[in-house]
Structure 1
Amino acid sequence: MSSKHLFLIFILVICQQILIKAQQPYIKKLSTNCGIRNASTSVLGYSCNGANKTCQAYLTFRSEPPYNTVASISSLLNANITLLSQLNLVSENATFGTGEMVLVPTKCSCLGEFYQANASYIIQARNTPFLIANNTFQGLSTCHAIQVERHNLTVDIYPGQRLIVPLRCACPTEKQVASGIKYLLSYLITWGQTVSGISAKFGVDTGLTLEANQLSEQDYNIYPFTTLLVPLSSQPLKSQTLSPPTPPATSPPPSPPPPSISASDHKWVYMLVGVLGGVSFTIFIGFVAFWFCYLKRKQISPPMISSASQSFEAIEKPGDKKLDIDEDSDFMESLNSIAQSLKVYKFEELKSATQDFSPSCLIEGSVYRGTIKGDLAAIKKMHGDVSKEITLLNTIHHHNIIRLSGVCYHDGHWYLVYEYAENGPLSDWIGYNGLSVNKSLTWMQRVQIVLDVANGLDYLHSYTTPAYVYKNMKSDNILLDSDFRAKITNFDLARSAEGQNGQYALTRHIVGTRGYMSPEYLENGLISTKLDVYGFGVLMLELVTGKHVSDLYEKVNKDLSEVLNEFLDEENVQGNEKLTDFTDPSLQGNYPSELAISVVRLIYGCLDKDPSTRPDMNEVSQCLSRILTASQTRQASITISVQDDFVK
């Protein structure tokens, strides 16, 4: 054997040893970028670099309907139902609470270059690899790994097909085994978590977890919908998923022995006990008498109203007699004085308006159509604290924000009475692709709708004190009146902007509709008015393309701005072919192409990943106003031209 061959063998042996001892690289943000194909990032799975080709591993999963029982989670993740129930200290027919962390045992095997545990999934309507990986499996797989596993002959996936979903797991390396590591746990990260916090939860040294994921103390950022490998010396315990381990309690020092009491002192002790006992008994009798009178008085008192905050919250305490406050005239008068411009309705009025809340009057959810004094109204039944929405809508007034005209409280429920939007939610007018003439919007109507929404958001951002971030942008929350003018509704998520436009606030409570939420909000909980700008860009994209956001994500999986790239290329905008393919088929080319391109450029700016470079809503509103004016001028010139031709 030549020296050259010996050298190559030596290099291969050295590389193999390095690979065996190497740890797994953390995936970072790459799980949401479905265009990445670089295997070194672990985006396709954890490398087969462990001491064993097959091993026992563990996953975490957060219970969410319909996957909230032992049976359903076991089936979804292809786990042994008996082992899963025993590991979580529940029976095999148990149901977990929503959001509860579930430990899942799995057999991890080296298949090709990567470790994985295979699950089987039947594709549902509107599923994409991205949604399957991040919604259904919560990040236990990636869109990249799912795409590689597909063996069918089609580019797209279709409902009813069975799909193999590779779950992210790994086996300990020789180095980890030598240090006492027996298992690796694939932990699903959620918002606000840290490497040190997750490590403490399972009693693991933070340095070991950092090393297992090739992270350093200077580069330890972790993100939701990704997995962090936690090295364990023993199998995980259910108690570790509930709270971090508490330090052992230290025993208190022994108490000094009580001083001895001589026989001569006993009589003074007895006298003292007798006096204290008599006083205590007297106080007790007085307290009982006072409490009885207090409760009797409370029974005839109306619920407490906070006039300072205009919260209108009925406060009931134990022992209170339930009071039908909508029939108490004193309460009605006080609430009217607080509500100012709001009318306080009696429950009987709303029953009459909705034919006793008949199903025939039900619009959607808990919203009913009613007729009050000949005028249509939308009546929404709510429970819980609605003071935030009432206060906000009672202090802001804009023709593109839904008007709250009255309230009613009855039997523990609030009823909010809004102006009625005859043409319903904007979402009902998206996605028909020209198949329904009655559900088709013209170019002018679309531009007017987005301008209305922009004006409403600009009012919230710039002309209210304090400024508000809406946080709930989606086509379901935009209502259209009889003239197809837009009204923004559902302000339960709105919050103060806490500063000038663009200034960030932080939250760990991420709420909203997937697809409309901006990257900085999803990944880091950053809140500013630019969050609304991003959601507005998605809304405009839906209106221009005629596709719901879920359908748009089927094409790109992550970055919606990718949809726009090819149409902003100078070579493509010269002709109408690309633009026609891009826009809603129901428009049938009946729009000015140069103005459509302007709208596309505006959408692109709103969807910028960097919130600081997105335009503010005032700029968006001015731009759309110019586009609408130009569209109206063009339409007027076409009308005049047609009239002239008719006269000739």
Structure 2
Amino acid sequence: MCGCSSGLWNYLMSYVMEEGDSVEGLASRFGVSMDSIEAANGIDGPGNVTAGEVYYIPLDSVPGEPYHLEEEIPPTPTPEPSVVEPLEGSKENHKDHLPYGWILGSIGAGFFLIICCVLVFAFSKFSFCCAHTRGNLEKDCDGKISHKFHILGRSSFCCASDKSTVCSKTRDWRPNNGESSNRHISIHTAVGTDVFEMDKPVIFTYEEILYSTDGFSDSNLLGHGTYGSVYYGILRDQEVAIKRMTATKTKEFMAEMKVLCKVHHTNLVELIGYAASDDELFLIYECAQKGSLRSHLHDPHNKGNTSLSWNVRVQIALDAARGLEYIHEHTKAHYVHRDIKTSNILLDSAFRAKISDFGLAKLVGKTGDVEASATKVVGTFGYLAPEYLSNGLATRKSDVYAFGVVLFELISGKEAITQTDGMALKNSERRSLASVMLAALRNSPNSMSMTSLKECIDPSLMDLYPHDCVHKMAMLAKQCVDEDPILRLDMKQVVITLSQILLSSVEWEATLAGNSQVFSGLVQGR
């Protein structure tokens, strides 16, 4: 769990619920309370658990030792009076004598325990406020900003103030005394219930968004996404990217919020907060300084970018694969992205990749892709899997197909839909990049005989690449775009293969400096 924890436990152990398991059984098995398990997982009742899901077991110490809540202070044991032989002639006096020492000691111990309870309660209250960031960023009537937060190391905001009053001149989009429109009420109700099970993003005011983007000036425009424009801004000395959407895109707005408030990974773009006006919705993300992968692959020089080296391309592919693997395999609820493409893969200042734009993401079944429900076909042509086009079944394998197209783009530098040369523009033909690359691979059986594949490799690489690694990546992409989804690889297999290709590519680059033997030893020593 990210951010500050409101629980009193020190450890969280992940546990996959099996058939026959229950909250009561887990509590008995691990020596914890049922209430703590329900609180850690947001369970309404002990019966609301599902086999196959990952649940967290809160532990106060290492597994095996008994668990005690800090607030459950054991009662002070009543000491047994010591047996002392009375002196002769003093038996009557001994019966009347009271153990004043024990009484005074018990009173002192009780007073000390009361002080400890007060301190524990105060600390728990502070942790609760820190974890449940309400972020109601509002202004006082004199225009001063009253919201306070800390900027964490991972470009996120925490510890927002909990003010509930709003100045009349602040353009707050939340409902006030039932006078707002139904659209406002529906948005706020969804935001306040099941969206933020783990973390609550900061709510910014429209004025702040307007000021940070210089009135949405063209100079701050970063690009156009699937459902809105993206602007560069600075909020409280923090570089951010702000997606501007019309109020009609409430469904996509809520879908992206639901996903990004529950999943956190270094290769997924981080949601910082949101805002709204009467007509528009805004999502605020961490800023990716180098923009999208698409802008670096397709005609980069006209966009002010330099072409990417081979090793950087492989690293970008591996980063994106890890982010996609995370939402497919390792989240409590599994997701499909449904819009994987180079424009939705963003690069930070070190050219490390992050997947963005989760407005089309959907939950999938936990026991297999067959449980995914048929939906309206959405996405971008050139990246859509054949079975998704035919029956609208969104599965993890349809994401794998789109990622295979991205790999072909990294190799060729061409777009997902290519324009073939013709005698005239009207005679030119539009073909998918996947079909072009697959045709080249049929005539390039291995890295020693890849004449056809060489013709498709990005000319900006200027033959500065290891031929065997390029062929391996092309074959990996071929497996990802197989027409039969069953034969496609899982993202975890893609991550393993790309890791091997990256190691080989780095070692190849080291040989250019004449240090191959030393570098090979370092790689083997890892």
User: Could you state the TM-score of these two structures normalised by the residue count of structure 1?
Assistant: 0.46
**In the alignment, what sits opposite 1:360?**
219
CA-CA distance at 1:416 after TM superposition: 1.1
Instruction: Name whichever of 574-583 and 368-377 sits farther off.
Output: 574-583
Question: Could you tell me how far apart the structure 2 residues matched to 1:346 and 1:336 are?
Answer: 20
* 1:550-565 aligned within 5 A: 550-551=417-418, 557=431, 560-561=434-435, 563-565=437-439
Q: Which amino acid aligns with 1:363?
A: L
Report the 3-state secondary structure (helix = DSSP H, G, I; strand = E; otherwise coil) of the residue aligned with 2:354. Answer: strand
Report the 3-state secondary structure (helix = DSSP H, G, I; strand = E; otherwise coil) of the residue aligned with 1:557. Answer: strand
Report the 3-state secondary structure (helix = DSSP H, G, I; strand = E; otherwise coil) of the residue aligned with 1:629. Answer: helix
Q: Which has the larger radius of gyration?
A: 1
User: Could you state the TM-score of these two structures normalised by the residue count of structure 2?
Assistant: 0.56
* 1:422-441 aligned within 5 A: 422-432=289-299, 438-441=305-308
Question: Pick from 470, 489, 495: which aligns with 2:337?
Answer: 470
Question: Could you tell me how far apart the structure 2 residues matched to 1:579 and 1:638 are?
Answer: 23
Question: Could you tell me how far apart the structure 1 residues matched to 2:462 and 2:218 are?
Answer: 38
Question: Could you tell me how far apart the structure 1 residues matched to 2:344 and 2:235 are?
Answer: 24
Asked if 2 retains the 8 angstrom alpha-carbon contact of 1:452 and 1:485, the reply is: yes
* 1:236-635 aligned within 5 A: 320-321=179-180, 340-365=199-224, 366-382=229-245, 383=247, 384-385=249-250, 386-432=253-299, 438-503=305-370, 505-551=372-418, 557=431, 560-561=434-435, 563-569=437-443, 573-575=447-449, 577-635=451-509
Asked if 1 retains the 8 angstrom alpha-carbon contact of 2:264 and 2:270, the reply is: yes
**In the alignment, what sits opposite 1:106?**
none
Q: CA RMSD in A?
A: 3.8
- The structure 1 segments of at least 4 consecutive aligned residues displaced by more than 4 Å after TM superposition are 312-317, 332-339, 433-437, 552-556, 568-572, 641-644
Specify whether residues 342 and 515 from structure 1 end up closer, same or farther in structure 2 by C-alpha distance, changes over 3 A only. Answer: same
Question: Could you tell me how far apart the structure 2 residues matched to 1:614 and 1:576 are?
Answer: 23
Question: Could you tell me how far apart the structure 2 residues matched to 1:603 and 1:533 are?
Answer: 9
Specify whether residues 392 and 558 from structure 1 end up closer, same or farther in structure 2 by C-alpha distance, changes over 3 A only. Answer: closer
Question: Could you tell me how far apart the structure 1 residues matched to 2:407 and 2:363 are?
Answer: 25
CA-CA distance at 1:502 after TM superposition: 3.5
Instruction: Name whichever of 633-642 and 354-363 sits farther off.
Output: 633-642
Question: Could you tell me how far apart the structure 2 residues matched to 1:433 and 1:362 are?
Answer: 18
CA-CA distance at 1:367 after TM superposition: 1.5
Question: Could you tell me how far apart the structure 2 residues matched to 1:313 and 1:455 are?
Answer: 37
Report the 3-state secondary structure (helix = DSSP H, G, I; strand = E; otherwise coil) of the residue aligned with 2:513. Answer: helix
Question: Could you tell me how far apart the structure 2 residues matched to 1:625 and 1:582 are?
Answer: 23
* 1:79-94 aligned within 5 A: none
Q: Which amino acid aligns with 1:375?
A: Q
Specify whether residues 589 and 508 from structure 1 end up closer, same or farther in structure 2 by C-alpha distance, changes over 3 A only. Answer: same
Question: Could you tell me how far apart the structure 1 residues matched to 2:213 and 2:510 are?
Answer: 43
Question: Could you tell me how far apart the structure 2 residues matched to 1:502 and 1:563 are?
Answer: 27
**In the alignment, what sits opposite 2:83?**
none
Report the 3-state secondary structure (helix = DSSP H, G, I; strand = E; otherwise coil) of the residue aligned with 2:261. Answer: helix
CA-CA distance at 1:438 after TM superposition: 3.3
Report the 3-state secondary structure (helix = DSSP H, G, I; strand = E; otherwise coil) of the residue aligned with 2:483. Answer: coil
Asked if 1 retains the 8 angstrom alpha-carbon contact of 2:443 and 2:452, the reply is: no
Ranges in structure 2 where 5+ consecutive residues have no aligned partner: 1-163, 167-171, 185-190, 421-427, 519-526
Question: Could you tell me how far apart the structure 2 residues matched to 1:414 and 1:560 are?
Answer: 36
* 1:173-212 aligned within 5 A: none
Question: Could you tell me how far apart the structure 2 residues matched to 1:370 and 1:441 are?
Answer: 26
Counting aligned pairs with the same residue, the percent is 35
CA-CA distance at 1:500 after TM superposition: 3.1
Q: Which amino acid aligns with 2:508?
A: R
Report the 3-state secondary structure (helix = DSSP H, G, I; strand = E; otherwise coil) of the residue aligned with 1:608. Answer: coil
CA-CA distance at 1:490 after TM superposition: 0.8
Specify whether residues 316 and 504 from structure 1 end up closer, same or farther in structure 2 by C-alpha distance, changes over 3 A only. Answer: farther
- What are the superposed Cα offsets for residues 44-77 of structure 1, whole Å, 9 maximum, x if unpaired? xxxxxxxxxxxxxxxxxxxxxxxxxxxxxxxxxx
Specify whether residues 608 and 437 from structure 1 end up closer, same or farther in structure 2 by C-alpha distance, changes over 3 A only. Answer: same
Specify whether residues 432 and 334 from structure 1 end up closer, same or farther in structure 2 by C-alpha distance, changes over 3 A only. Answer: closer
CA-CA distance at 1:360 after TM superposition: 2.1
Q: Which amino acid aligns with 1:380?
A: K
CA-CA distance at 1:439 after TM superposition: 2.9
**In the alignment, what sits opposite 1:261?**
none
Report the 3-state secondary structure (helix = DSSP H, G, I; strand = E; otherwise coil) of the residue aligned with 1:560. Answer: helix
Question: Could you tell me how far apart the structure 2 residues matched to 1:563 and 1:636 are?
Answer: 29
Report the 3-state secondary structure (helix = DSSP H, G, I; strand = E; otherwise coil) of the residue aligned with 1:461. Answer: helix
Q: Which amino acid aligns with 2:241?
A: A
